[in-house]
Structure 1
Amino acid sequence: MAGKRTILITLLALALLAGIGVGGYHWHKAWQEEQFLTVPPETPGNDVIFRVEPGQIFTTIARNLKDRGVITDARRFLKLARRTGRDASIRAGEFLLSTGWVPEKVLSELTTSAGIMKKVSVREGLTWWQTAREIDEAGLGSYAAFAQAVTDPELLDRYGIEAGDAEGYLFPETYLLTPPRGDRSRYMAETMIKEFIKNATKVWPEGLPGFKELHRAVILASLIEKETGDVTERARISGVFHNRLRKRMLIQCDPTIIYGLGPEFDGNIRKNHLLDKANPYNTYVHRGLPPGPICSPGLDALMAAVHPEKHAFLYFVAMGDGSHHFSKTLAEHNEAVAKYQLRRNRKTYRSTKQ
C-alpha cells in the first residue's frame, strides 16, 4: 500500500513539474514576445537608411531589417504584420528608420509613409536643356542622359509627339521621387510628358486634338509663357499673337531668337541676331510661329493660347514693372517704346511682377 502511495505521489509530483515546465515555457515565450514588441534593439537608437525594392517579398524585408539591426526577430515581425493585416502593405522606396524604434513604429513607417523623397521643382518657361540641368542638380539623372531621353524617337512616338524632341511637353511641376539607384533621366522625361497629357485634358476636356493643332497651341503657349511677367496678362498677350498671325504680320518675339541661339546664348540680343535668316526661330524675319516650342509652358499659358482675349491690340511693350503697355497702332506703340524702353530707369526696371 505504501508503495502505491509513493508511486502516486511521484506521478503527481512529475505532473506538477511538467505543468510548471509548460507554464514556464509559455510564460517565457510571452515574455519574449512582450520584449520584442516593447523594447527597441538599441537605446539610444541609430538612424538607418533602409531600402525596399519593388516587388520584394515580406520575409526578405524582415530578414534585411534584422540584419540592419532595426528589429530583433524577423519571424515575430512577420507575425505582427500578418496579425494587423499589413504584410502586403509595405511600400517600395527608401526609408529613414531607427534602431531605437519598437517594431510597431517600424512597421507603421514602412506601410504609411512615402519614405525619403528627392524633390525637383521645374518652373514654367524652362527649355529642355535648362530642365536637364535641374534634373542633374537634383541628383535624379545626368544632363547627357536627359538630353538623350527627350530626343529618343521611341519615347516620342509612344506619346504621339511628332517632333524631334519633347520641348514644350516636359510639364513644369514639383516632382517627388524615391532616390534612384542609377540614372532616372528617362523616367523623369516620361513622367513629365505624362503630366503634360494629364493637364492638357483640362484645356481640351472633350479629347486632345490632332498633333498639328496641339503642337501649334503648345508653340503659342510657349511664347506666351516667355513673354508674360504679369500672369493676369496671358490671355491678352495671346490675343495680340492671334491678331498678328491673322493679319500675317511678323510675330517679332525676342525669346524665339534667344531659343534659336541655343544654350550658348550670352544674354545680349544684337542687331545681327534680329537680321539672321539662318535662325529658323527668328520671328523678326520668318512669318508665322517658330518651328517648335521655345520652352515648356504651364497650364495657364496653354489655356491662354487656346482661349485668347478678344481685342484689337497688335503691339505690347514692357513697362518695367512686369506688366505691358498694349497698343492698337504702330504710332502708339512707338511712343510707348520711347517712354518705357528708351528712357527706362535701369536701376528699377524689372521684367516680372512683384
Structure 2
Amino acid sequence: MLRKLLLALSGGLLLVMVCVAAGWYGLRWYGDQKVPVSSDTEFVIIAGDSLGHVVQRLSVDQLIQYPDMFKALARVKGVAADLHAGEYLIAPGTTYRQLLNQFVAGDVRYFSATLVEGWTLKELLQALNRHPKLTDPVELKNLKAVMGTLMKDVPQTDNLEGLFYADTYSFEAGTTVASILKRAHQKLQSVLADEWDKKAEDLPYKSPYEALIMASIIEKETGVPSERPDIAGVFVRRLEKRMRLQTDPTVIYGMGDRYKGELNRSMLRERTAYNTYVIHGLPPTPIATVGREAVQAALNPSDGETLYFVARGDGTHHFSKTLAEHNRAVRKYQITERRKDYRSTVQ
C-alpha cells in the first residue's frame, strides 16, 4: 500500500516537473518569436492600462499571437504591473520578449517641438497648440494662470512676451503644452542668469529683464547672426546718449494685427507704448522669443561709434557714425540702388 502511494506521488511529481519544464520551454520559445510587423509600427499604452488591456489591444491590432502566453510571460518575469504609458515604435524583427522589455523599460518614442528665434508669443502658442503629439492647448488669455508661480519674479503685467527660450524640446506623446512652456521659461531664466553674470561693464540696463527686452529687438533686427553684437552696440550707444532707438520691429509689434506688411510715416508717428520713434528708452516688454546669441549680444555689444544702420537688401546692414552718412546710405540702399530681390534676411 505504502509502495503504491509512493509510486503515485513520484509519478505525480514527475508529471508536475514535466509540465513545468514544458511550460518554461514553451514560454522561452514564445519569447523568441517575432512580432508580426513588416515596418515600424506605433503602439500606445494609455496611462492606467492594465496588462490585460494592453494585451487585448495588441491582439486586436494583430501585433501578437497567443495573447495568453504574452500575459504569462509578463507574470513569470514579475513585471505584469510595470508597463509604462507612452507611444512605442515596434520595429520589424522585435521579439515578444524584447517587446515586453521595451514596455517595462519605458523605451517610448520621443517627439520634438522647436520654438524659433523671433517668434511672437502668439506664433509660439499656435505652433505648440497645433502639434499632433502635444495635449491640452493653452490660450493666450489663460497663459499667466497656467504658468502659475513660475512667473512670480517676472515684472510687469499680463504680457508674457519673450519669456520662453527659443530651442528644440523633446517629449513623449501626450505631454501637455503647458509642460513645454514651463521648460522653455525655466531654460530662459537659466540662460539669462548665466549670461548676466558674464555681461560687460557699464551697460544701460537696470535688470536682466531689460537686457531681455534689448535681446528681443536685436533678434528681430538681425539678418546675419554675426551682426548681432554690432546692432547691439548701436542700440546701447543710442540709449546712453538718450537718443530714441527708432527701430521698426517695435513699431510693428505695437500695432499688433493692424500691421499688414508695410510701414508709413503716420505709423511711425503713432504713439504706442512700443513705438521707439516716439518713446525714449526701451519698450515695456520684449517683442519676440530669443536665443542665447541675442542675449549674449545685448550683454556684450560691440565697441565703436556707429549710431545708425540700414538694410542693404541682402540681409546685411550698412552701419554709420553720423546722420549724414546714414541718410546717404538710406538713399543708396532704399531708393537709388534698391535691389529688385530686396529682402531683410539672408537666404
**CA deviation after TM superposition for structure 1 residue 231, in Å:** 0.4
- Contact 1:77/1:103 (CA < 8 Å) preserved in 2? no
**CA deviation after TM superposition for structure 1 residue 166, in Å:** 1.7
**CA deviation after TM superposition for structure 1 residue 29, in Å:** 1.9
**CA deviation after TM superposition for structure 1 residue 111, in Å:** 5.0
240-249 vs 145-154, which deviates more? 145-154
* 1:185 aligned onto 2:174: no
- Contact 1:321/1:351 (CA < 8 Å) preserved in 2? yes
Quote the Cα distance in structure 2 between the aligned partners of 1:259 and 1:30.
69
1:155 to 148, 156, 168: 148
102-111 vs 304-313, which deviates more? 102-111
Larger C-alpha radius of gyration, 1 or 2?
A: 1
Could you report, residue by residue, the CA deviation over 1:201-243 in whole angstroms, capped at 9, with x for unpaired residues? 3313489xxx951111011001100001010011111010011
**CA deviation after TM superposition for structure 1 residue 15, in Å:** 6.4
233-242 vs 193-202, which deviates more? 193-202
- 1:275 to 1:87, Cα distance in 2 relative to 1, 3 A: same
- 1:65 to 1:205, Cα distance in 2 relative to 1, 3 A: farther
Report what 1:135 is aligned to.
128
**Which amino acid is the alignment partner of residue 253 of structure 1?**
T
- 1:141 to 1:73, Cα distance in 2 relative to 1, 3 A: closer
* 1:168 aligned onto 2:162: yes
Quote the Cα distance in structure 2 between the aligned partners of 1:258 and 1:115.
43
- 1:162 to 1:152, Cα distance in 2 relative to 1, 3 A: farther
Quote the Cα distance in structure 2 between the aligned partners of 1:38 and 1:155.
50
Report what 1:64 is aligned to.
53
Report what 1:247 is aligned to.
241
2:270 to 263, 273, 276: 276
Could you report, residue by residue, the CA deviation over 1:218-271 in whole angstroms, capped at 9, with x for unpaired residues? 110011000010100111110100110111111100000000011342111122
Could you report, residue by residue, the CA deviation over 1:298-334 in whole angstroms, capped at 9, with x for unpaired residues? 1110011111111111001111221111110011111
Quote the Cα distance in structure 1 between the aligned partners of 2:75 and 2:9.
35
- 1:136 to 1:334, Cα distance in 2 relative to 1, 3 A: same
- Contact 1:320/1:344 (CA < 8 Å) preserved in 2? no
- Contact 1:45/1:101 (CA < 8 Å) preserved in 2? no
1:126 to 110, 119, 125: 119
Structure 1 portions without partners, runs of 5+: none
Report what 2:77 is aligned to.
80
**CA deviation after TM superposition for structure 1 residue 280, in Å:** 1.4
Quote the Cα distance in structure 1 between the aligned partners of 2:6 and 2:78.
42
Report what 2:256 is aligned to.
262
Q: How does 1:320-331 map to 2 (within 5 A)?
A: 320-331=313-324
- 1:45 to 1:206, Cα distance in 2 relative to 1, 3 A: closer
Query: Number of paired residues?
Result: 332
Aligned partner of residue 305 in structure 1, secondary structure: helix
Aligned partner of residue 95 in structure 1, secondary structure: strand
Quote the Cα distance in structure 2 between the aligned partners of 1:339 and 1:45.
59
Could you report, residue by residue, the CA deviation over 1:147-170 in whole angstroms, capped at 9, with x for unpaired residues? 134333862664411222221111
**Which amino acid is the alignment partner of residue 115 of structure 2?**
V
Identity %: 30
Quote the Cα distance in structure 2 between the aligned partners of 1:308 and 1:95.
47
* 1:226 aligned onto 2:215: no
- 1:22 to 1:142, Cα distance in 2 relative to 1, 3 A: closer
2:30 to 28, 31, 36: 36
* 1:308 aligned onto 2:308: no
Q: TM-score, normalised by structure 2?
A: 0.83
**Which amino acid is the alignment partner of residue 188 of structure 1?**
I
Aligned partner of residue 18 in structure 2, secondary structure: helix
Report what 2:285 is aligned to.
292
Q: How does 1:106-125 map to 2 (within 5 A)?
A: 106-110=99-103, 115-125=108-118
